[in-house]
Structure 1
């Protein structure tokens, strides 16, 4: 295995030489073999060990084993302890998910504070197979079947090409000491059920199953690459990015027989999971929407609009005093006294100062808001009706600000001024307000 490891290491992982490496080390056979291989290749390594306090005294014996090993071999070591059960209960997570989140958060913290270049884990080919089967049992897209990547940004998995049998043989031949996790014998966890019952059956059916599986994963990864390339090309044809939104043209998208697949490819990275609801949006009425934790997808006529979830119900009011010349938050406005009216636009209005009541108020629109649109001779109109006539999307409505004098609207900012504050022949003081 050492020769095979060297053959793998130098073509594919040669960039690790001279880097500062942090090894996630449980004390089990896999991580101790990885430590041994890297020490023999003279890599600069440190050990990171998590005590999850899930197995009583055994967890602390694992910790002591790692501490003694690191001291004996003069390896820098980082140890932390987690109350994993309490964390899982607080955040309503399974124990395994909680442990994963805790350890990787800590690993990345060490990466930052101790200036490590990479985190190395001892995942191997059998781990990859188990992950594939678990994802398959839950229902997944192709990315769930391509397995554990050998490199994921700063995380490297040097043993991914080796089987559990190869690792055990190497450990025995080189008299490597390790700790056996008693929980590995239990069928309490899904991964252990797969490991103890399903994988042995598959290997019994085909002794070369693991090797065949690795070839299949290579094919799947190539297929995923082609799918990603196709998704990029189609995205360029049907999507348009504007500010912090993405607009998907449904007329173009629905001409594709498999447009659901493209939506999945584009939207999964934004945390969406309600795929039936998303696919139904294409044929739903305007205004229907689907949410992920941080984003929203809304149907607006012939488009699906993706936008980040900011504070959609923002009620904050911002006061603008009489002598203010510039406002930089939440939007940029400038105020200046002028002698005459020059060309107006949606971005610039001119008002009669003597008609204004200070401080002015900058706020979001509310249902029931009414204004008198400039040029309509005093006829009132609901702001919501104005939005409808102008064919505003839901996202555009939510981003619109109103500039008010008391309870009266001066300006739907950037859209339409109010007739009541316009400059007339009797106006003595003119205030120019501009949106930048």
Structure 2
């Protein structure tokens, strides 16, 4: 069977798309995506080429973009490109460069698909990529779903090169004499995936040359097992999760305790709500003697209550505002049962109570407000160049989810966050040698 015939058969067998449908190809310029483009052209599919320039490799990144642009001209298909400030995005969102690039890439491709009315986006993952993904999942810890590998189709993303191993892709590329761009970072083992590809897989192939085939067959079995497990879990939820009028869900502890193996069942029942394996392990070890104990995920809580397990969503932090009138300083107020004061003073010689927060009193936009944390809140902490999510700061300070609303935020009339008491102030209102008057935000000793 010709290479392109195997390619087209895989697309048909997995119902990736119909011949007349329009597909955007995500092409980096590397060997995998270049071969995918050549196969689409040979099969005479209706396609366009899209390229993301992450601006991580200087001139090389720009040359990659120009190479892919020329590739699209060669095939006489539409070309789309975008440039990202990837490092800035990663810094501001406190994620790795790799995760930032992934998020930016998929978000842009989906927006492009919708805007230009394409049916699907094709990415060039092959069987060896899927093997690497399974091994990474095993190293991180995973449920059954993590053993399935990369799916040929998910929503509007299709992966037609999963018909082939990485070695088959490389051999076909040489056979076709196709030019491509090489990313030198692929040779670095500082990234986990590269270390698996370069160091681990060669040793595994010494034990079994048909590594990709074995993992592919295993993935199909795990996929079937995962569908069976999902069906059983859904049926248990339908029979035992009792939804109350107020939105809470109650389930009998006796029903949960009868499940076997209980650890697997509890994980599958509750991890879709964001509960970690560690938290669910604590739940199991506590349910015989932990009435009243709570277990938290990012959005939900589980409460042990006299033979029942009650799950409810965590209420979003309320937007509590107390207006601070400038001509009434000092201003004392109560916040969740604690007494605070906001006052002004001279920079030198001012007496302070516990945990004072001080900012430049001149650099303020009046009036001021005190309010709770809100989803999406960001500010520039003292000494940092970029912005930080307030939620990340609260996590670092080990503030429980149920206590986030109790942390007072000082904001100006434009809702710019000036201080998160008592940990950080905004760099833009820091005290400088030129500062004469300061605004002091502190908790009263007898509060």
What TM-score do you get using the length of structure 1 for normalisation?
Answer: 0.68
Deviations 1:147-195 (A, max 9, x none): 1111111111111131011111221222222111111111121100000
Equivalent residue number for residue 259 of structure 1: 262
1:29·1:168 contact (CA, 8 Å) conserved in 2? yes
Instruction: Measure, in 2, the Cα distance between the counterparts of 1:315 and 1:248.
Output: 34
Q: CA deviation at 1:316?
A: 8.6
The structure 1 segments of at least 4 consecutive aligned residues displaced by more than 4 Å after TM superposition are 312-317
Equivalent residue number for residue 250 of structure 2: 247
Q: CA deviation at 1:258?
A: 2.1
The aligned runs of 1:9-408 (5 Å cut-off) are 9-13=11-15, 15-243=17-245, 244-273=247-276, 274-280=279-285, 282-283=287-288, 285-311=290-316
Equivalent residue number for residue 7 of structure 1: 9
2:132·2:196 contact (CA, 8 Å) conserved in 1? yes
Q: Are the structure 2 counterparts of residues 239 and 87 from structure 1 closer, same or farther at C-alpha, using a change threshold of 3 Å?
A: same
Moved more, 227-236 or 25-34: 227-236
CA RMSD after TM alignment: 2.2
Q: Are the structure 2 counterparts of residues 248 and 174 from structure 1 closer, same or farther at C-alpha, using a change threshold of 3 Å?
A: same
Q: CA deviation at 1:284?
A: 5.1
1:281·1:289 contact (CA, 8 Å) conserved in 2? no
Instruction: Measure, in 2, the Cα distance between the counterparts of 1:146 and 1:98.
Output: 24
Instruction: Measure, in 2, the Cα distance between the counterparts of 1:75 and 1:127.
Output: 27
Deviations 1:173-224 (A, max 9, x none): 2222211111111112110000001001111222122212221222211221
What TM-score do you get using the length of structure 2 for normalisation?
Answer: 0.67
Gaps of at least 5 residues in structure 2 are: 323-401, 403-447
Q: CA deviation at 1:17?
A: 2.0
1:284·1:299 contact (CA, 8 Å) conserved in 2? no
Gaps of at least 5 residues in structure 1 are: 318-394, 396-436
Instruction: Measure, in 2, the Cα distance between the counterparts of 1:281 and 1:311.
Output: 27
Deviations 1:64-113 (A, max 9, x none): 11111112322112211111112112111111111111111112221222
SS at match of 2:23: strand
Q: CA deviation at 1:292?
A: 2.2
Q: CA deviation at 1:246?
A: 2.5
Instruction: Measure, in 2, the Cα distance between the counterparts of 1:40 and 1:105.
Output: 29
Q: Whose radius of gyration is greater, 1 or 2?
A: 1
1:70·1:76 contact (CA, 8 Å) conserved in 2? yes
Q: CA deviation at 1:61?
A: 0.7
1:130·1:191 contact (CA, 8 Å) conserved in 2? yes
Q: CA deviation at 1:300?
A: 2.9
